[in-house]
Structure 1
Amino acid sequence: MSPTDRIEKQIVLRAPRSRVWRALTNHEEFASWFRVKLDGAFAVGQIVKAQSTYPGQEEAKWEMRIEVMEPEQLFAFTWPAGDAEAADRSLWNRVEFRLEEVPEGTRLTLVESGFDRLPPERRAEAWRLNDGGWTEQTQNIRRHVEV
């Protein structure tokens, strides 16, 4: 795996692991901090349709397939990074949220991988946009769980 194939972010949240888990896996809470409308609850194997609620990005729509829900440890989904219309799910990226209890609260490690499978003409821009997006989303979840 090349260094450009993945984005990794870590953040320590001053909240119990159970609280962070709920923010990640309860679709209503996820929708709130991620700033998206979702058409259903999260369950392994479920395809959930999403639409951005960020000002100026309300037209952005995509699907996500819930892959893993290991309580208070790992939540993962795949999605069409770099091409919301990508019908070929083999080109979708995997997003993982790993939780670890630490003295300060919960360490959240986010990894999005699969950029090297994207067509070369879309790869760098998709990586750049998602890297910035995940930086913002880690702060959104911080504000959501540390209230």
Structure 2
Amino acid sequence: MGTNSDFSIGELSQRTTVNIETIRYYEKVGLLPPPPRTEGGHRLYSDAHLKRLVFIRRSRQLGFTLDEIRNLLGLVDGGHTCGEVKDAAVHHIQAIRKRISDLRRMERTLSVTAARCEGGETPECPILDALFATRSREQRGA
């Protein structure tokens, strides 16, 4: 039925280090096209599937959301310009920078709060109090 480059979902998983259930999920949500099946119903993946799955895995490692990956794959599948890909990358860089800023702010807040905590056996805890607070110090301008 297939060529010598056809392989099972297990082999695809091993070659890409992507979990089998994740591969099935990517098929279900349309990121990975469904492969042909043997007469017994087993999936037969091709080198094209492998290449696309590596692209998806690498994009996830770089922090792209599934919707962003879907958009990138749409550029690949529908023809693309380098400018369109650059625009997507620049947009992602901006999102990463915002997350870094948010993480730095969270780290400062947690560090200050943890420094005020003496630990011990008392039920009062400034860390928990800060987490229950309705407004953070940043929101109050402190």
* TM-score, with length taken from structure 2: 0.30
Task: Compare relative contact order (CA 8 Å, sep 6+) and give the higher one, 1 or 2.
Answer: 1
Structure with the bigger percentage of strand: 1
* TM-score, with length taken from structure 1: 0.29
Structure with greater Cα Rg: 2
Structure with the bigger percentage of helix: 2
